[in-house]
């Protein structure tokens, strides 16, 4: 009897866990749909802006603007921003980002000795546990980062780079490719990498044939468009990270729900066998007692 009660308690506990994970899966699915819409809506603007800035950068010298890298004082230090989540239960999402971030910091002296900033509590905890000096832990963004908040962060990086305090800013984030594929990447935010954008342009050359006429001159336009491009790319990184987090949590909670269902079925079979054994034992005892009275 005691064994059957223990199995029933485990079945109840597994059932409760399954209801919780199922609810979390539905919440993650709903959030994913909204975040995917926001991330997809901002990509055409970011892509068009990058194309325009790349075209402008090809028309001027490298020293025409500080964000192109020309004439910047070398400090030997870089800024690294690692975008992780505040909450867990999202499978290997945080682990993949943290491993890539720590590998980058250990492989580059400029990054390891530079400014290390983290978005999300999970990344900050892991880096501090591994003896990295985290200069700032940004917890204000949450699940719905606004452009204004990201813009302030991007502007601070631009000012630090313009003053020569850092040589580059790199972002470690989860790039959203599709619902079934997300890839951790390291993106150079500043200085603006015109060659990388040009390679992307060559891939899409067959899809568009745009001719630009600039007024005023390219140098003047770069003064406004380069900072805007940096902030737009950083905002896109945040959007991709949020979508990828919701996808990872949705997949992890679905797997947990399925596993809980399988465990409950296994416990049900185990309970049936235990109950059948108990009934058989009771019947044997009754029959043996009746036989002894004859």
What pLDDT is attached to residue 137? 94
Q: Mean per-residue pLDDT for 213-222? A: 74
Which residues have a Cβ under 8 Å from the Cβ of 201 and sit 6 or more positions away? 51, 54
DSSP-derived secondary structure for 207-245: T-------SS-HHHHHHHHHHHHHHHHHHHHHHHHHHHH
Q: Mean per-residue pLDDT for 242-268? A: 94
Which of 83-92, 174-183, 189-198, 235-244 is least confident? 189-198
Residue-averaged pLDDT of the chain? 85
Q: Mean per-residue pLDDT for 149-159? A: 93
Q: Which of 39, 38, 91 is nearest to 248 (CA)?
A: 91
pLDDT exceeds 80 at position 291: no
Residue 15 DSSP code: H
The two tokens of residue 286 are: 């009754």
Q: Each residue of 52-93: pLDDT tens digit?
A: 887 777 777 666 677 776 555 567 899 999 999 999 999 999
What pLDDT is attached to residue 120? 92
Q: How many Å apart are CA 28 and CA 11, to the nearest integer?
A: 25
Answer for the pair 80, 104: CB distance below 8 angstroms, yes or no.
Answer: yes
Four-residue CA torsion sign, 174, 179, 181, 187 = negative
pLDDT band at 205 (very low <50, low <70, confident <90, very high): very low
Domains in the chain, start-ordered, CATH in brackets?
A: 21-252 (3.40.1380.10)
pTM for the predicted model, two decimal places: 0.83
The total of other beta-carbon atoms located within 10 Å of residue 281's CB is: 10
pLDDT band at 206 (very low <50, low <70, confident <90, very high): very low
């Amino acid at each position: 009897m005691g064994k059957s009660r223990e199995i029933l308690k485990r079945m109840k506990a597994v059932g409760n866990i399954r209801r919780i994970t199922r609810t979390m899966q539905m919440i993650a699915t709903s959030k994913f749909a909204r975040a995917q819409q926001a991330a997809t809506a901002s990509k055409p603007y970011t892509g068009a802006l990058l194309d325009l800035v790349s075209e402008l950068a090809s028309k001027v010298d490298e020293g025409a603007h500080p964000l192109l890298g020309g004439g910047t004082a070398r400090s030997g230090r870089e800024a690294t921003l690692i975008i992780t989540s505040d909450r867990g239960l999202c499978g290997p999402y945080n682990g993949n980002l943290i491993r890539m971030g720590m590998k980058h910091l250990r492989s580059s002296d400029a990054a390891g000795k530079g400014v290390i900033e983290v978005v999300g509590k999970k990344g900050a905890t892991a880096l501090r546990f591994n003896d990295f000096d985290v200069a700032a832990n940004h917890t204000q963004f949450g699940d719905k980062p606004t452009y204004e908040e990201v813009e302030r962060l991007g502007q601070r990086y631009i000012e630090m780079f313009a003053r020569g305090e850092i040589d580059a800013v790199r972002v470690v984030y989860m790039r959203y490719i599709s619902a079934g594929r997300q890839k951790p990447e390291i993106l150079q935010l500043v200085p603006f990498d015109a060659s990388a954008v040009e390679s992307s342009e060559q891939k899409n050359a067959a899809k568009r044939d745009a001719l630009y006429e600039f007024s005023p001159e390219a140098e003047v336009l770069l003064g406004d468009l380069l900072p805007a491009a940096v902030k737009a790319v950083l905002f896109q990184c945040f959007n991709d990270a949020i979508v990828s987090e919701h996808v990872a949590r949705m997949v992890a909670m679905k797997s947990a729900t399925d596993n809980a269902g399988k465990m409950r079925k296994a416990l049900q079979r185990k309970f049936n066998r235990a109950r059948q054994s108990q009934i058989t034992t009771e019947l044997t005892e009754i029959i043996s007692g009746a036989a002894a009275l004859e």
